[in-house]
């Protein structure tokens, strides 16, 4: 097919890429697969090429070790090995945070690491303390002593994250002090030498509150931003790797997406948009977990994917023109065709219920769902028919 026919809406499918290893050219590898798509009539103007962040970072060899993190913590917070460092609002995750915590603890092997959990859940919905227990204990700050030896396993993963984080700290030689409080300013009561605001989406506010009391405070995006392995996102978006390594988010993502876009345009004469995506921005209705552990769904996008997706409320308009004006299906379709979103005000009835959303967030979420995070082996997703005018013609 050269284009989607008029009766087909947006379509997304994954491309199998094989194993991608450090040192490979991610742009060239993806371009080779896009050439195959082009030969088979599966690549057209207006298509969107979505690349998962993990294969980009791996090809870039963008890894740091826990020792690298320890050195940064010591240097940027001015800590000695006997220092006391606080970690405020970490998420409960083996993949996303356990190795970061290990690096922090290795910075103070003869000191102390304080961990302040939010409760009853972390910021992405992982349960820390059962809500009924939190209500029973009350108060603004809960200690391990208040729990009286009770431990609580995550209802989905079965992991006791409090016990896990304590064991990580103690294995590095430091003393673990763990408590639960939703006020970031509470960390000042423990008089730490330095603080790391470890939350993701609310990090700026958390850091601002802490710095009113303790100026020596960093967030995760303040670390691992320079050097051979680095990212403009710092430790945000990092993942556990082999051994004592963490894979950072991709660096210079804009260079990657624009390089691929140019290559496709110059050699295949096709205009595509390109993005590097991470976690989708959705909340699981069964577990209550908000899947977005990355700082945002898309790490880099080409220019055509900036802006918001808006539309008219089709079901409202169909009902209105049928019931109130007695219009036929053909007449309603003609009216809808003329109801261009850009010509309507944001509070118009035609747009009722259509919340404007950033295109890159929608597309990254769709790509994440299509590619999956297990063994599908499709780290590149092509989305067709999403952009205006991309799905018409045969």
pLDDT higher than 50, residue 189: yes
The string of pLDDT tens digits covering residues 328-349 is 877 777 776 666 555 444 444 4
What is the phi-psi region of residue 286: left when phi exceeds 0, alpha when psi lies from -120 to 50, beta otherwise?
A: alpha
pLDDT of res. 298:
96
Tally Cβ neighbours within 10 Å of residue 3. Answer: 18
Torsion of CA 253, 274, 306, 226, to 10 degrees: 0
Tally Cβ neighbours within 10 Å of residue 235. Answer: 28
Pick the range with the lowest mean pLDDT from 9-23, 92-106, 175-189, 361-375.
361-375
Same fold, 11-56+253-310+356-384 and 63-247: no
pLDDT of res. 348:
45
pLDDT of res. 340:
57
CA-nearest of 109, 105, 104, 112 to 84 is 112
Share of the chain above pLDDT 90, in %: 71
Provide mean pLDDT across the span 6-16. 90
**Model confidence band, residue 120 (pLDDT cutoffs 50, 70, 90):** very high
pLDDT higher than 90, residue 210: yes
Pick the range with the lowest mean pLDDT from 54-58, 199-203, 237-241, 291-295.
291-295
The string of pLDDT tens digits covering residues 125-151 is 999 999 999 888 887 899 999 998 888
Question: What average pLDDT does the structure give for the chain?
Answer: 89
In the chain, domain spans: 11-56+253-310+356-384, 63-247, 314-351
Terminal C-alpha separation, the chain: 8
Provide mean pLDDT across the span 253-269. 97
Cβ neighbours of residue 328 closer than 8 Å, sequence gap 6 or more: none
pLDDT of res. 233:
96
**Model confidence band, residue 283 (pLDDT cutoffs 50, 70, 90):** confident
Cβ-count burial 131-169 (b if 16+ within 10 Å, e if not): eebbeebeeeebebeebeeeebebeeeeeebbebbbebb
8 Å CB contact between 141 and 114: no
pTM value? 0.86
DSSP string, 340-376: -GGGS-TT-GGGTT---EEHHHHHHHHHHHHH-SSS-
8 Å CB contact between 59 and 26: yes
For 63-247, CATH number out of 3.40.50.620, 3.40.50.150, 3.40.640.10, 3.30.70.20 equals 3.40.50.620
pLDDT higher than 50, residue 394: no
Query: What distance in Å separates the CA atoms of residue 186 and residue 193, rounded to the nearest whole number?
Result: 14
CA-nearest of 87, 118, 110, 103 to 190 is 87
Give CATH for domain 11-56+253-310+356-384. 3.30.1330.100
Provide mean pLDDT across the span 271-300. 90
Check residues 284 and 175 and name the one with the higher pLDDT: 175
Environment class of residue 370 by beta-carbon count within 10 Å: exposed (0-12), middle (13-18) or buried (19+)? Answer: middle
pLDDT of res. 128:
93
Provide mean pLDDT across the span 228-252. 95
Provide mean pLDDT across the span 377-387. 92
**Model confidence band, residue 353 (pLDDT cutoffs 50, 70, 90):** very low
pLDDT of res. 314:
67
Query: What distance in Å separates the CA atoms of residue 119 and residue 259, rounded to the nearest whole number?
Result: 44
């Amino acid at each position: 097919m050269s284009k989607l026919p008029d009766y087909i809406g947006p379509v997304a499918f994954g491309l199998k890429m094989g194993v991608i290893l450090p040192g490979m050219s991610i742009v060239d590898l993806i371009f080779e697969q896009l050439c195959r798509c082009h030969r088979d009539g599966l690549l057209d103007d207006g298509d969107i090429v979505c690349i998962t962040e993990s294969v980009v970072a791996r090809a870039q060899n963008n890894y740091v070790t826990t020792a690298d993190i320890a050195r940064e913590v010591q240097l940027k917070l001015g800590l000695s090995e006997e220092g006391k460092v606080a970690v405020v609002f970490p998420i409960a995750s083996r993949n996303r945070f356990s190795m970061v915590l290990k690096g922090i603890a290795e910075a103070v092997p003869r000191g102390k690491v304080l961990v302040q959990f939010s409760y009853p859940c972390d910021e992405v919905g992982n349960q820390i303390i059962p809500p009924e227990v939190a209500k029973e204990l009350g108060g603004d700050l809960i200690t391990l002593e208040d729990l009286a030896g009770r431990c609580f396993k995550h209802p989905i993963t079965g992991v006791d994250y409090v016990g896990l984080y304590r064991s990580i700290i103690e294995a590095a030689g430091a003393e673990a002090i763990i408590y639960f409080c939703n006020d970031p300013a509470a960390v000042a009561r423990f008089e730490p030498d330095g603080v790391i605001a470890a939350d993701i989406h609310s990090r700026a506010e958390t850091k601002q509150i802490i710095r009113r009391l303790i100026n020596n405070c960093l967030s995760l995006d303040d670390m691992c931003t320079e050097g051979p392995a680095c990212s403009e996102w710092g430790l945000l978006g990092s993942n556990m790797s082999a051994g004592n390594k963490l894979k950072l988010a991709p660096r210079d993502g804009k260079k990657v997406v624009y390089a691929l876009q140019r290559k496709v345009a110059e050699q295949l004469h096709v205009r595509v948009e390109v993005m590097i995506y991470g976690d989708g921005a959705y909340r699981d209705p069964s577990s209550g977990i908000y899947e977005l552990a990355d700082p945002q769904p898309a790490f880099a996008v080409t220019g055509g994917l900036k802006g918001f997706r808006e539309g008219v409320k089709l079901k409202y308009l169909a009902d209105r023109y049928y019931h109130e004006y007695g219009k036929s299906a053909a007449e309603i379709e003609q009216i809808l065709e003329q109801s261009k979103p850009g010509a309507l005000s944001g509070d118009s009835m035609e747009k009722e219920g259509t919340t404007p959303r950033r295109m890159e967030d929608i597309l990254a979420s769709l790509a994440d769902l299509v590619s999956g995070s297990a063994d599908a082996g499709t780290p590149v997703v092509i989305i067709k028919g999403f952009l205006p005018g991309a799905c018409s013609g045969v």
